Amino acid sequence: MAHANVLMVAEKPSIALSIASALSRGQMSTRRGSTDVHEFDGFFLGFRARFKVTSVIGHVFSVDFPAKYQDWSVTDPLELFHAPITKTESNPKAHICRHLSQEARGCGHLVLWLDCDREGENICFEVIECTGFHEPRRRVYRARFSSVLDKDILKAMDNLVEPNRDEALAVDARQEIDLKVGVAFTRFQTTYFQGKYGNLDSRVISYGPCQTPTLGFCVQRYLQITTFKPEKFWVLRPYIIQNGYELQLEWERNKLFDVDVATMFQKLVMEDGILEVNEISEKQESKSRPSGLNTVNLLKVASSALGFGPQMAMQLAERLYTQGFISYPRTESTAYPSSFEFRGTLGALANNPTFGNYVQRLLTDGYHKPQFGKDAGDHPPITPMRSATEDMLGTDAWRLYQYVCQHFIGTVSTDCKYVRTKVEFSIGGESFHCTGHHVTVEGFTSVMPWLGVNERKLPRFMKGEKIEVSKVELYEGSTMAPDYLSESELISLMEKNGIGTDASIAVHINNICERNYVQVQAGRKLVPTALGITLIRGYQCIDPDLCLPDIRSFIEQQITLVANGQMNHFHVVQHVLQQFKQKFTYFIKQIENMDALFEAQFSPLADSGRALSKCGKCLRYMKYISAQPARMYCGTCEEVYYLPQKGTIKLYKELSCPLDNFELLIFSMPGPEGKSFPLCPYCYNSPPFEGVDTLFGAIKSRTSGKLGKGAGMPCFLCPHPTCRHSVIAQGVCACPECSGTLVLDPVSAPKWRLDCNMCNCLVFLPQGAHRISTTRERCPDCDTTIIEVDFNKKTTPLEDGATLYVGCILCDELLHSLVEVKHGKSFSRRMRGRGRGRGRGGGKRGDPKMSFRDF
């Protein structure tokens, strides 16, 4: 009979040992190599065979750029999108590739025992490459298994299949996309920001298509907390004493946000004073036992109940798996296959000192099939495989193992059943109720007590019974901001939005912690750092896609098409990289927007800025940073507001914008003839009116429609119909030089003047007046706004020492004689007919150009 040589390769040395022990029934020899090699004789496909079982240690290769692309200072990050990639040994000192090549010599068959997920499939083809089994005539087999118990290994050996190249290529695609996108953004950001700010608290300012949306969730919650405004509410709480119990009743209206209305209801209830029992209902209810345990749910419970971070939980679970105590811990499935042996699994725990008694009762009285869950087609749910005690495992591993056992036992127990009693009352036209719970069957909650239903006994009531109220409390509370995201909540969000896989979720969360983007605080809450917040705010102001989960789910959908054999691996990679290259190019062009946030947060500018005016969103003071480009920075809202450049900024009498509640500022240009005007920081950065197309300071820039730095809408361009600072209220007449409007300069006293809101035309008004202001009246002849002048007593040109004078600067001879035009043509009543676009002197009736009457 022919003699075959068979090489078997597992993912870890401990799994190789389990496989060799099971197949040889312990009759094997072991020799040292890069990883141990176990040898024994047996039968393979009906032939006598010599077996060699060895292992890799995870991925044999990792992807990187060739050496010429490694120098950050030489390579433009944009080139990386088209750069070639190379595969190099992940752990060169271990010499795994050489080891596999040597062991494969003389072997005609290769059996791959890698973990049964996409990553494992990818490692299969790495092993095939190292061993030379990609040549024709050399046979390759794939073993599929979910636990390292002897029976599961023997079963896998009897059902060998072929490795799946499509799944392996899907991992290649993801590796290439993540490398190119991550490195391009990371290099550009790190070089750009670390070159400017010395106090950034991270070595590398990294970007990752999974890592960044993960951070985005944490920052989104942080922003919800900081912008939260609590609201007061009131709840009516009557108390009764029944059979010696004091009971507080629940109000059907729950809560009200108006104290006067709540007080009225309290009065009605107190005036009545007698409750009537309207209805008593009893209802049988049940709490369903859990379905099978998958990786995501294990990580959530580990974080919320056991206090283990996802990274640590996965390390403990991996160890329990390789030691044979639990099944493979990376699975998306919560449904058990129809062939699953529940009795055998329970039997393994029947003598366990912790769970044995409960398990024996299940075996005697009959266990139940678990609730139907989701079958992802990978591995069965995480299940205990062998009995263990705390002494065998150590405290941390035991706590995780204990939960896996409790969950599994819970899935095959009965549901929890209880009776819910509700008693409904009425008093003073208002409805109240109280509820009680009585557990009839504990079911799975006796092994998972934290999920149990709280017993609440009620005293006996009779329908129609009348009961005196002992007191009526009006409780005052406030709505609460949400808490920081817990790890458990973050894992749920990642799973729901398709970020990461059961294998990588823990890695992404660990990355954002290690890079100082978030800190894990008490209760495993994730609190973003200043750097994490600024990064996400930066992406949001340039291209929100970069930090939204949609971008990752788009990549995952494309990769799944490769894994299912529906799309070509090369085309998918090119398609996704093309999308990201466009985003990267746009990101570079817009980086100044992100830089403004970094500068305000990290440079000494944030320290040197001085508190100047209140933010309309949070009502806290914003800092004025005078260094170019001048801007306001709200530290609470993490917002930057650009200002007109090359001038001085002051607070304008603590007046507020009626549109957004931001305090107004006065901007003054330098020089004796420099104009001054009020502006709202928010309106200046986000003009609220369409049609305000001539922005002050610069033209509208960039295809995105976003404003360039130093371009916006000051009050003298604002068409708000009632605001006293707008061009409607302060505009006087058309500019003789352009299509602009002459607007009263509010802080030019005592040298009062009008400034054009578009060109440099100035018109000096009567000098030395106490006060000059616009009125709501218009000149019947020329439609110019009538102004009111309060002359100085000593220098008044009016007879009898009168000081107050009202008139039109074009038609009134006295005022017209006191007006002087600078940087513009002189103008007189002859201008009356000139319609000037925005001009206040504008327009005969029927003039097609817009006049102020049209707003």
Model confidence pLDDT, tens digit, residues 222-280 = 999 999 999 999 999 999 988 888 899 999 999 999 999 999 999 999 989 899 999 99
Residue 468 has, within 13 A of its CA and on its CB side, a CA count of 1
pLDDT along the chain (855 residues), means of 10: 82 88 90 90 89 91 90 86 92 90 91 88 92 81 84 88 92 93 90 64 77 92 92 94 87 93 93 91 93 91 88 91 87 83 88 89 87 76 90 91 94 94 93 94 91 90 90 93 92 86 82 88 89 89 87 86 92 93 91 80 60 90 76 79 85 90 91 86 84 53 34 84 88 86 86 86 85 89 89 83 87 85 56 32 29 25
As a whole number of angstroms, the distance between CA 444 and CA 400 comes to 18
* Residue-level pLDDT at 427: 92
Partners of residue 639 on adjacent β-strands: 634
Whole-angstrom Cα distance, residue 151 to residue 344? 11
Round to whole Å and give the CA distance between 552 and 161: 32
8 Å CB contact between 275 and 240? yes
CA distances from 33 to 92, 102, 697 (A): 15, 10, 73
Question: How many CB atoms sit inside 10 A of residue 514's CB?
Answer: 13
95 burial via Cβ count (<10 Å: 0-12, 13-18, 19+): middle
**CA 541 remoteness from chain centre:** 14
Which pLDDT score is estimated for 701?
32
How many other β-carbons are positioned within 10 Å of the β-carbon of residue 418? 22
For residue 594, what is the enclosing H or E element?
helix 591-602
Residue 314 CB coordination number (10 Å):
24
Close Cβ partners of 62 (under 8 Å, ≥ 6 residues apart): 87, 88, 89, 90, 175
CA dihedral sign of residues 823, 824, 829, 834 = negative
Q: What are phi and psi of 40, to 5 degrees?
A: -165, 165
Distances (CA, A) of 676 to 100, 667, 725, 808: 79, 5, 13, 23
Q: How many residues does the chain have?
A: 855
CA distances from 52 to 22, 57, 677, 805 (A): 13, 17, 85, 109
**Amino acid letter, 720:** H
Tell me the pTM. 0.65
pLDDT for the residue 138: 77
How far from 708 is each of 604, 705, 825, CA to CA, in Å?
Answer: 24, 9, 32
Q: Which amino acid is at 826?
A: S
Interacting residues of 495 by C-beta distance below 8 A, sequence separation 6+: 296, 505
Query: What's the CA gap between 310 and 488, in Å, rounded?
Result: 9
- Looking at residue 837, what is its pLDDT? 30
Decide if 712 contacts 683 (C-beta within 8 A): yes
Question: Hey, which residues does 251 pair with through a beta bridge?
Answer: 432
Q: Which of 452, 552, 539 is nearest to 501 (CA)?
A: 552
Residues labelled as active-site residues: 328
Cβ atoms 855, 728 nearer than 8 A: yes
User: For residue 237, with 0-12 CB atoms within 10 Å meaning exposed, 13-18 middle and 19 or more buried, which class applies?
Assistant: middle
* Backbone dihedral angles phi then psi of residue 187, each to the nearest 5 degrees: -65, -45
Q: What is the pLDDT of residue 641?
A: 85
- How far is residue 250's CA from residue 453's CA, in Å, rounded to a whole number? 19
Long-range pairs of 356-364 with CB within 8 A, sequence gap ≥ 24: 358/409, 358/446, 358/447, 359/409, 362/409, 362/412, 362/413
Q: Which of 811, 725, 815, 724 is nearest to 767 (CA)?
A: 815
